[in-house]
Structure 1
């Protein structure tokens, strides 16, 4: 017997949501994180649609009530009208053609995220909102929620204000990077016909998601300490260094990724010429010098020196 859905967006919304939820929970397990993840979908009716439901949520009988989203469509329109791209003119016709859709999607995501601010505070959770895509009559935003207690194992970096034109400065924690990697998979699946129908062709595994998240997270140190940072594979470089043996044995040592001008850094020794990270054998030897409690200080532009 079929499953009746009152807040209907498309026929496979239930199986799609469950698949994203399983993936998010598997990623947390892969990371060794305590707690669980819940996933919901928020559908905001597209302009011009006559669908009777202004907002749909999946699951419709879960812990999130529909009144939570009262005023969402008005918030989306207000955000759209004041969007920073309104007065931006691109030099190519395709970008100008796509601009209204970019603004619409960003306005939906921003408005959905603001809706959860008070909910998160009152329920001790953190909501991560993915990029919306429209399916039939709705712009659908996938949302992952995890308990705040999960961050005890993954203490996040403090937030830092960024200008409206900045994309940010990386991810506040590996957990943040992992949840957004899950949401990226969820958004890509929504671009397929009938998302949720053919799950076997679907998304990356939890192990792959964690690797993607780790790579993305390791952009954060350089972005945080150097505005001109352009080294794109700190993850690969550190993996290579850590895989090398030191005099035939497993190496040890501690690397600290920090702005060397930070007043909390107390240098014991400085090299006249910092050891470049792209020379993994020398980097491995230098790292061994930090096996007795001191740490190697990672500078911007892939250079190291000893503290």
Structure 2
């Protein structure tokens, strides 16, 4: 039979939601794969249409029910009454009409979010909603949920208002969410949204650039000069791209209110330089150093100054932009980087290694390792991440033998327990530290060898690819764990093990798929797609036999659904599942 939408808003709502989900996954994979965005739609009937649901959800099994939203209009009315914006009046009737409409839409959006948060307060998720768009008699809200733990692992500001009224972003992630929801809601104005195979022509990198610009409005607002709100992102990009007498621009710029109590001016310009005078600013940047910064309110440069006394981070009114090398700059608050920009492409600071990830992986790689040894390794890595330049640490069960083998291309030392002082010394030179799992160092400055493999990555640097070559050459000889720390503090580990799961969860899903294929009732396309998506997300854990079984069941089910469908159905084209050669029983927490 044809696929029938019970909670009907418009004909292509399912495909619109699927397109949004896939776009969001690709987008946030670039930012932080642990955020795991989930997208669904909520529709609230706003016109007098007969035989239509008051509330519609897409997908219908999104984890919430129509009954959950039964009082959403009542809640919206309450929120509208208490909104502080209702006290503001405009002299022009059109401006007042727009203002009133904005209040009403804000209230509806907040009511949707509060309703969802009420029913998911114990879940590890954060919920965001777009402004509603009227679509075929429904106010449609696009809902995004992300993992709370991953979100909170990134530094962010706490103040989200400018002049106690205007919303500003607290982080690059927030700006990306804002830009995504704006883009998604604008697509709802397109007739038959979802009918096109392509959700939008706007690439993810373009959206991230827009988000970076949006976040810099927040940084610019700290200067308390409304004239400088809109040009700071472009100014930083252009200034970072300019050379002075052939030299790259390296230095710093502080954005803060004029006469900030924690800034001591050491050189005051008679006539401030407009930040839009890029070449003048670039030339003046030559006077800055690690202590002295250009002082700006985001609109003008007033001179040079330095940070004095103890700045209170709670104030959030002193931001630092650092120009690190040609076309590279970053913005920080309280010595914590919030965004890096390279060649006009923003990204988050390097992801720090998660403690629970290290403890889990090391215990699996080095069977029987003591917790105290993992504690020591965690301390060593944390110290290495603080260094201003990159480094690499090789932890090997054959550390002593490997140090001897590489003695002509390393500094072998009398075996010594690694401590923080030794880490600082050892990471001050090129090459790797070679240590055993018990924390004993055998060599420093080691130049690793190995054979090039297909796992190399030309987009990464020499240090990362050297680690790949060494690991692939030695993994079958010794248990090995490599930590690669880049110059920006980003940490890569090798091997980067997939999480452990229950073997029974795989078996249970395959059994469900098999039972589904033998059902005497009409098969649900949605249920089939959900099962296949789960299996595709867990394809790493599948054996060769399981892949063959799933592939056969998938083909059988697709044929059954095609026979049952009288008006045709839209099929998601899926590739055959194949076993991963890296998979073994250590990835299962249960043995049977």
1:62 and 2:62 aligned? yes
- Structure 1 residue corresponding to 2:181, chosen from 180, 183, 197: 183
Aligned residue for 2:269, secondary structure, equals: coil
1:271 and 2:268 aligned? yes
- Contact 2:232 2:298 (8 Å CA) reproduced: no
1:255-296 alpha-carbon deviations (Å, 9 max, x no partner): 333335444x34362323444322222322333444435543
Q: How does 1:1-307 map to 2 (within 5 A)?
A: 2-32=2-32, 34-79=34-79, 91-92=92-93, 102=102, 104-119=104-119, 121-152=121-152, 154-160=154-160, 166-168=165-167, 170-200=168-198, 202-226=200-224, 228-263=226-261, 265-267=262-264, 269-273=266-270, 274-292=272-290, 294-306=292-304, 307=306
- Contact 2:162 2:221 (8 Å CA) reproduced: no
Distance 1:64-1:20 versus aligned 2 partners, 3 A rule: same
1:130-158 alpha-carbon deviations (Å, 9 max, x no partner): 11011123111111111123335642211
Point out the structure with the larger strand share: 2
Distance 1:150-1:303 versus aligned 2 partners, 3 A rule: farther
Give the TM-score taking structure 1 as reference length. 0.83
Give the TM-score taking structure 2 as reference length. 0.46
1:17-40 alpha-carbon deviations (Å, 9 max, x no partner): 122222223322333564221111
Aligned residue for 2:35, secondary structure, equals: coil
The structure with the largest alpha-carbon Rg is 2
Aligned residue for 1:123, secondary structure, equals: coil
Q: Aligned partners of 2:51, 2:24: CA distance in 1, in Å? A: 31
Structure 2 regions of 5+ residues with no counterpart? 307-592
Distance 1:6-1:188 versus aligned 2 partners, 3 A rule: same
1:195-246 alpha-carbon deviations (Å, 9 max, x no partner): 1112437352111111111112211123244164454221111110011124
Structure 1 regions of 5+ residues with no counterpart? none
1:81-139 alpha-carbon deviations (Å, 9 max, x no partner): 677559957635x6677777655433321211222344564223222211101112311
Q: Aligned partners of 2:279, 2:103: CA distance in 1, in Å? A: 48
Distance 1:293-1:21 versus aligned 2 partners, 3 A rule: farther
- Greater shift, 81-90 or 271-280, is seen at 81-90
Aligned residue for 2:183, secondary structure, equals: helix
**Equivalences, count:** 303
Pick 1 or 2: higher relative contact order, CA cutoff 8 A, min separation 6: 1
The CA RMSD over aligned residues, in Å, is: 3.2
Distance 1:281-1:211 versus aligned 2 partners, 3 A rule: same
Q: Aligned partners of 1:201, 1:160: CA distance in 2, in Å? A: 30
